[in-house]
Amino acid sequence: MRKTTLKQLAHELQLSTSTISRALSDNYQISQKTKERVKHYAIERRYTVNRYAKSLREGNTKTIGVVICAMDKPFMAQVLNGVYDGCNEAGYQFLVMQSKGSFTAEKECVERLLHNGIDGLLISPSFNSFDLGYLVEQQAKGLPIVLFDRISRQIKTHQVAVDNFLGAQTSAKYLLDKGMKRVLVIGCLEEVWLSRERVEGFLSTMDLLTANEHECEVVNVDPTHREQLAQQLEKVFVKRLKSRPQFDAIFATTDTFTTTTIRCLNKLQINIPLIGFCNSELSDILIGNPTRIVQPAYQVGMAAVGQLLQLIKHPAQTDFETIYLPTKLEEGNTI
């Protein structure tokens, strides 16, 4: 199991380790002949550098840390897929940590990654992370950081997000085209930018295109616990939809809201058009076949890695950029 080392190659070729090292890295000081001999032999002996020794020597790790809420949510799994490809292309690897939505856990994740040794950090702060001071602190110590998904103005750095505002506007336009202007909007209690932007984008278009004649209502729920969420929504639906159907459609502002809404509507036997954010592969075979707003998850991951690698390469960078990627509307057959 012991891997071949430079020393062994050197011994076997009757050369010094430094010559081997230089030959393998195509150093100009080495003769063509020696280079070829060394390279050839290295392949034969299946030599590969010891990453740990190299990292120790060079002071980098060729590893980036990724902190997310949970990797078994479709959106995040797709993002990770993008991160994976982005890293591979560049010869990097990545370590994932899950905060499970806890701010404390999130800080611990970063701590552990730091302890582990990373060249940069990719993070989607949990919706409970109001104070990103701990990130600013690490940044000041020299850690390259890129925020994605849930971005924030608290920290000056590259960021990658989905254009939630535009996505929501598109949804509103879509509904209005179908003649629907009485919409029940499922928003979020917390100060979650994601949901808020979507509510605002939606209403802005509604206001503009209907000259304020829309009859939308925003319901804010607490997304923290899955079961509680279902209960909250059920209550809302019973009250607003069951007796007198005063709404043309529902707009769900997050993936979880969309799927939980389907669950509740189905349970309550309520039939009402639904449009909502949804990134599952199965979004086209969900009950009621809702119209979906799909986020470019893979591209988010890709772009975020790109930004981070660039930041690692140019640490002195001070001109930061926030990339907004567009969503895609996938029509269901009920609206």
Residues that bind a copy of itself (CB under 8 A): 1, 48-53, 55-56, 61, 70-74, 77-78, 80-81, 84, 93, 95-96, 98, 114-117, 141-143, 259, 262-263, 266, 280-282, 284-287, 289
Which residue in the set 41, 45, 49, 85 belongs to the binding site for DNA (CB under 7 A)? Answer: 49
Between 4 and 154, CB nearer to DNA = 4
Q: Which of 36, 43, 53, 267 binds DNA (CB under 7 A)?
A: 53
Q: How far apart are CA 223 and CA 244, in angstroms?
A: 26
239 DSSP 8-state letter: I
45 φ, ψ to 5°? Answer: -85, 5
* Other beta carbons less than 10 A from residue 44's beta carbon: 10
Of residues 25 and 224, the one with the C-beta less far from DNA: 25
Q: With contacts defined by CB under 7 A, name the span among 26-34, 126-134, 180-188, 222-230 that binds DNA.
A: 26-34
- Six token digits for residue 223: 């997304």
How many Å apart are CA 256 and CA 283, to the nearest integer?
A: 12
Contacted by 19, from DNA, a copy of itself, none: CB < 5 to 8 Å by type: DNA
Give least dist CB 7 to DNA, A: 6
- Is 139 an interacting residue with respect to DNA (CB under 7 A)? no
In the bound state with DNA, the residue whose beta carbon lies nearer, of 53 and 238, is 53
Residue whose CB is less far from a copy of itself, 14 or 269 = 269
Quick one: tokens of 3?
């891997």
Report, in Å, the least distance between residue 181 CB and a copy of itself. 27
> Which neighbouring-strand residues pair with 188?
221
Task: Name residue 318's beta-bridge partners.
Answer: none
Question: Is residue 59 a contact residue for DNA (CB under 7 A)?
Answer: yes
Segments in 178-253 forming alpha helices (H): 193-210, 226-237
CB distance 152 to 193 below 8 Å: yes
With CB cut-offs between 5 and 8 Å by kind, which of DNA, a copy of itself, none does residue 77 bind?
a copy of itself
Quote the CA–CA distance of 327 and 254 in Å, as a whole number.
13
Kindly tell me which of 5 and 289 has the beta carbon lying closer to DNA: 5
Torsion, CA 152, CA 156, CA 158, CA 162, rounded to 10: 20
- Choose one: 45-53, 94-102, 168-176, 283-291; the region binding DNA (CB under 7 A): 45-53
* 116 in contact with DNA (CB under 7 A): no
Shortest distance, position 65 Cβ to a copy of itself, whole Å:
10
Distances, alpha carbon 328 to alpha carbons 279, 291, 297, in Å = 10, 11, 11
How far is Cα 145 from Cα 120, in angstroms, rounded to an integer? Answer: 6
Q: b/e string for 248-275 if b means 16 or more Cβ within 10 A?
A: bbbbbbbbbbbbbbbbbbeeeebebbbb
Query: Counting contacts by CB under 7 A, is residue 29 touching DNA?
Result: yes
Residue of 1, 14, 91, 141 that binds DNA (CB under 7 A): 14
Task: Determine which residue in the list 1, 2, 269, 318 makes contact with DNA, applying CB under 7 A.
Answer: 2
Residues 6+ apart with CB under 8 A from 312: 64, 119, 120, 144
Q: List residues near DNA by CB under 7 A.
A: 2-3, 5-7, 14-19, 21-22, 24-25, 28-34, 49-50, 53-54, 56-59
